[in-house]
Amino acid sequence: MIDFSKIEFDDLTTRRLFDFCVTHRLGLADVADQSPLSPADFKFHVTIMYSKVTNPMFEEGERDFTPHVLTPDAFDMFGPNNDILVLKLRLDDVLASLFDHYREAYGHVSEFMPFQPHISIRGSGIGAKDRIESIPMPDFELRARRLIQRIKTA
C-alpha cells in the first residue's frame, strides 16, 4: 500500500500547460502506444507525498483550497533512467508545509528524498534532454487549487 497526496491545477492552468507542451513539442503522446494525448490525459500535478509507510488515519479524499501560484524553476530530467522531463518548481512555504504535514500527522516517509516539487511532463522525453536548455519557462501562472489524497496498491 502507498499513501499518496498531490495537488492539481485549475482548468485554465491545465489548458495553458497543455498548449505550452504542444508549442514546445514536449510529451505529446502516451509512452506505451504513442497515441495523441488531450489536456485531460496529461494529468498535470505536483506529488506532495508518496509513502510506503502508511497510516490507518490517512483517508482518501479531495478538497479545493485557495489557489496558490507555484513558481517554475528549471526543466530537468528525472526518473530511474533520467528519461522523464519535469518542470521543477521552487520549494515555497506552502509546499514545504504540506510536505511536513504528511510527515508529522501521518508519519509518512517519502520515497523521493529530498522533496523536489515538480510537474512531470507525461509522454516521451526523447530528444528533450538535448534541448532542455532552450525550453523557455512558462509565461503564465501555475495555479494549484485542489488537494487529493489516495491510497494506492503497489
Q: What is the pLDDT of residues 54-109, one digit of tens each?
A: 999 999 999 999 999 999 999 999 888 888 899 999 999 999 999 999 999 999 99
Domain limits for position 95: 2-152
Write the CATH number for 74.
3.90.1140
Per the DSSP assignment, residues forming a β-bridge with 144 are 9, 68
CA distance 54 to 91: 24
Contacting residues for 24 by C-beta, under 8 A, at least 6 apart: 135, 136
Which pLDDT value is given to residue 84? Answer: 86
Q: How many domains does the chain have?
A: 1
